[in-house]
Structure 1
Amino acid sequence: MAEISTVPFAEPPYLRGLPSPYYTEGHRLFQKACRVFMYEHLLKNAMEWEKEGTVPEYVFKNFCKHNMLLPNLPAPLPVAWLKRLGIHDILGVKVEEWDYFYSAIYADELPRSGLMGPGGSLNAGFGFGIPPIIKHGSPELQEKYLPDLLTGRARCCIAITEPDAGSDVANISTTATKSECGKYYIVNGHKKWITNGIWSELSTMAVRTGGPGAPGLSLLVVPLKGYPGVTMQRLKVSGQITGGTTFIELDDVKVPVGNLIGREGEGMKMVMNNFNHERLTISVGVTRQARVALSTAFAYCLKREAFDKTLMDQPVVRHRLAKAGAELETMWAFLEQLLYQLCNMPKEESDHQLGGITALAKAKSAMVLNECAQCAVLLFGGAGVTKQGQGELVEAILRDVPGARIPGGSEDVLLDLSVRQLVKLYNLQDKQLGKSRI
């Protein structure tokens, strides 16, 4: 349904009519239009497609036709490129007016079915694969690929993770060695757990062009589907089933040297910068999933009777809902604060100041989802572990939880990263203050 829900915890406070300093009239108009679009083109069939394991190809085409995958790009949007391609607005919002609150509204509405898989089947390329080409690609590389990628005529994915290197990006082993003629990189290796890979003509891929560790990493646009030397196999995963998780094998794949993004050895820096946007996007979507889980349980407890009273009449049930609800609303306030900072800080400063906080937000959002999903399943009882009937949604959400806690940097790695980044900032500021006292 496209209406605003009145069930407690089902909607962010600004949609429940509560005052907010963050949202303009333009934001609110976009939210209404976005909700209608999402329901008609994705959400009303999301559970059916998740059970089938695949979102039909026409859904991707419909989203592209209405420019509704462009919101997955980081704000501000690549206005010059979009206007060159005849794209001037997204559901009435001028592309030059786009900010991170529009992005957050979109990311909040996309998984409103409670499932991340259906939306994830569409957006990984736009969200994480295309941005490095926009930010760091040469003019020639952009001309070669952006017209097709930004309009959806070609699909893209981000290919970082390998069987033996996930969050430990610096130790990836896929190699890209220049050919004797110097015109090609010869790519060999494996990529695993690559969202959308099975449908993608192209990938933004982390490869090793130099020695060990981070200094040896580069980013390369590598052709995939149907390309010589590339073999892809779809992987069966427990949650986010429709996301197209893929294993990629690369056997002497010839890639033109002009497909290098930026310069050799700059890959680690670009990957880490790209992660900030990925982690923020995941955080917003995961928090919506938590809303769906908790509000679904809340509605169930209002009507389900046990021991001659509704579950909501049981103090222990109210206590469990309250604890999860406090975590949820705290998380959303955290995200709104972070979004406001992104909208009001220069890009270079926000990358410097907010990288650790963004990692913390991503880790915390997954913890909140776990709390809300566990709460919902426990309150549904046996129905909450059954893949059909009234508890099927919370059962599916709980299976999605690992897909929130691992991608974009696993939870423990991000918690550690956030504190290391904060210590680094502290030491730098303390050093600067020390100098100013001399």
Structure 2
Amino acid sequence: MTDMYFTEEHNLFRESLKDFLQKEVVPHIDKWEETGQIERFIWKKFGDMGFFGIAYPEEYGGMNLDFFYTVILLEELQKINSGGFAAAIWAHAYLAMTHLNAEGDTRIKSEYLAPSIAGDKIGCLCITEPFGGSDVAGMRTTAVKEGDHYIINGSKTFITNGVYSDYLVVAAKTAPELGGKGMSIFLLDRDMPGINATKLDKLGWRASDTGEISFDNVKVPAENLMGEENAGFGYIMQHFASERLIMGINAHARAEYAIEYALGYMKERTAFGVTIDKFQALRHKLAERTAEVEMSKAFNYTVAHRLGNGEYVVKEATMSKLTATKIADEVIYDCLQMLGGYGYMEEYPLARMLRDSRLGPIGGGTSEILREIIAKMVIDKKTYKPKTEEISKK
């Protein structure tokens, strides 16, 4: 199956990335998990290796490679057992930077996207609010135009890289009376007066800094509006397909890693005179879980192929996140069980992986919300169109 999507160049990239992660990242993971802060040097090393520029234009320092290079980056990040580190990296590269590239003008791309690709600037995307996680259209943060500036007030929460990032991509209502149709996207520098961030204490993803951010009369230059005023909701929806697929890919990769680890353990652990991989109850459970992961991965690769070809795969990406994150949680739960008491010990990887995986069905749209979105498409025959198509019809 992999030969359908991965060339020899892809495979060489994967091996190079694996080597980099083992040498440069893994030795520091436990420290970052404990402190909740990823040291800046590793961001620069990622930039120097070109990993942040995989999907971005060459004129800003990127490599403009096909989507399966991104798939490889996501998969390998899940196999070093730190969901928090992985989240910090992909939230920068595929949430914040996606908006810079899609809606930023030439100045913004030169001053923010290029340094982001180089690893000199770190970004975060600020959409979710304390009063309505999945209700994007109901956000309360406002941006009021005053002369050549906007004044932003409000708050965001559960923001990955929300404390230590250098810039923030922020969604705010510029015309609250229009509801979701009155939303815009802004670029804010971390040091702008009125921005305050508080680090949140989480169950998992402990290496990443997740923040609650308040905006108190933050004065933002009008030139930091990204894209059209009041078109922000469409921009956000446009990028949800890739975000959900990313989380689906993350899920099948960590589930695959959990199975690999559990099988390795079972081949060495003995009970009643034989290794436990000989017990039928355990063998059949792992066989079933492996089948589920393989099916999830095959589906995700198909959707990734279509996304890479420019298709708007919002339905399929939503299905990917819904099903893959559920499968990953169940797989990791069962793999931890295979280790018995050792699975519950922090020195073994499954305990951390279980905590980290639990965020999958919550972040980026809860499973409950995703089921309703899918129901609207499947039962009510609702269609979603890309923002570019909407603009072309105006």
Please report the TM-score for the alignment, with normalisation by the length of structure 1: 0.82
Q: Secondary structure at the match of 1:323?
A: helix
The verdict on how the C-alpha distance between 1:47 and 1:421 changes in structure 2, with shifts beyond 3 A counting, is: farther
Match of 2:354 among 398, 402, 411: 398
Residues 98-153 of structure 1: CA distance to partner in whole angstroms, max 9, x if unpaired? Answer: 10111111111122113211222333222111212211223343344333333232
Residues 197 and 213 in structure 2, CA contact (< 8 A), matched pair in contact too: yes
Q: Which runs of 5+ in 2 are unaligned?
A: 385-394
1:116-195 to structure 2, matched below 5 A, reads 116-179=83-146, 182-195=147-160
Query: Which of the residues 181, 189, 205 maps onto 1:215?
Result: 181
Partner residue of 1:372? 331
1:312·1:318 contact (CA, 8 Å) conserved in 2? yes
2:236 pairs with 1:236: no
Among 31, 34, 47, the alignment partner of 2:17 is 34
Partners in 2 of 1:120 and 1:29 — Cα distance? Answer: 24
Q: What residue number does 1:105 align with?
A: 72
Amino acid at match of 1:168: D
Stretches of structure 1 that go unaligned for 5 or more consecutive residues are 1-12, 15-19, 88-94, 429-438
Written as runs of structure 1 = structure 2, the 5 A alignment for 1:299-314 is 299-314=264-279
Distance 1:65 1:420, change over 3 A: same
The residue that corresponds to 2:284 in the other structure is 319
Identity %: 28
Deviations 1:264-310 (A, max 9, x none): 22111111112222222222222111112122111222222234433
Letter in 2 for 1:306: A
| Equivalent residues of 2:47, 2:118 under 8 A apart | yes
- CA RMSD, 1 decimal: 2.0
1:130 aligned counterpart, secondary structure: helix
Cα 1:427–1:406 shift into 2, 3 Å: closer
User: In the alignment, is the contact (CA less than 8 A) between 2:160 and 2:211 conserved in 1?
Assistant: yes
* 1:159-199 deviations in Å (ceiling 9; x for gaps): 111111211111111111112xx211111111111001111
2:22 counterpart letter in structure 1: Y
Structure 1 residues 122 and 426: alpha-carbon distance in aligned structure 2, compared to 1, 3 A threshold: closer
3-state secondary structure, aligned to 1:110: helix
Residues 43, 120 of structure 2: 8 Å contact kept:
no
**Where does residue 413 of structure 1 map in the other structure?**
369
Where does residue 345 of structure 2 map in the other structure? Answer: 386
**Number of aligned positions between the proteins:** 383
Please point out which of 332, 337, 347 is paired with 2:302.
Answer: 337
Residue 59 of structure 1, aligned match among 42, 52, 55: 42
**Structure 2 residue aligned with 1:78, among 53, 57, 73?**
57
- 1:394 is displaced (CA, Å) by 0.3
Given that residues 114 and 293 in structure 1 are in contact (C-alpha distance below 8 angstroms), is that contact kept between their aligned partners in structure 2?
Answer: no
8 Å CA contact 2:83, 2:357 repeated in 1: no
Q: CA deviation at 1:35?
A: 1.5
Partners of 1:427 and 1:48 lie apart in 2 by 46
Q: Residue 48 of structure 1: CA displacement?
A: 4.3
Letter in 2 for 1:223: D
Partner of 2:390: none
Alpha-carbon distance between aligned partners in 1 of 2:306 and 2:383, rounded to the nearest angstrom: 22
Of 124-133 and 241-250, more deviation after overlay is shown by 124-133
Q: What SS is found at the alignment partner of 1:50?
A: helix
Give a deviation string over 1:388-430, Cα, whole Å, max 9, x none: 3xxx3101111012221111111121222134234576879xx
1:342-363 deviation per Cα after TM superposition (whole angstroms, max 9, x unaligned): 23x3x2xx12xx1111011011
The one-letter code matched in structure 2 to 1:49 is: W
User: CA–CA distance in 2 between the matches of 1:290 and 1:322?
Assistant: 13
Q: Say which of 204, 215, 230 aligns to 1:265.
A: 230
Q: Take 1:127 and 1:237, find their aligned partners in 2: how far apart are those partners?
A: 22
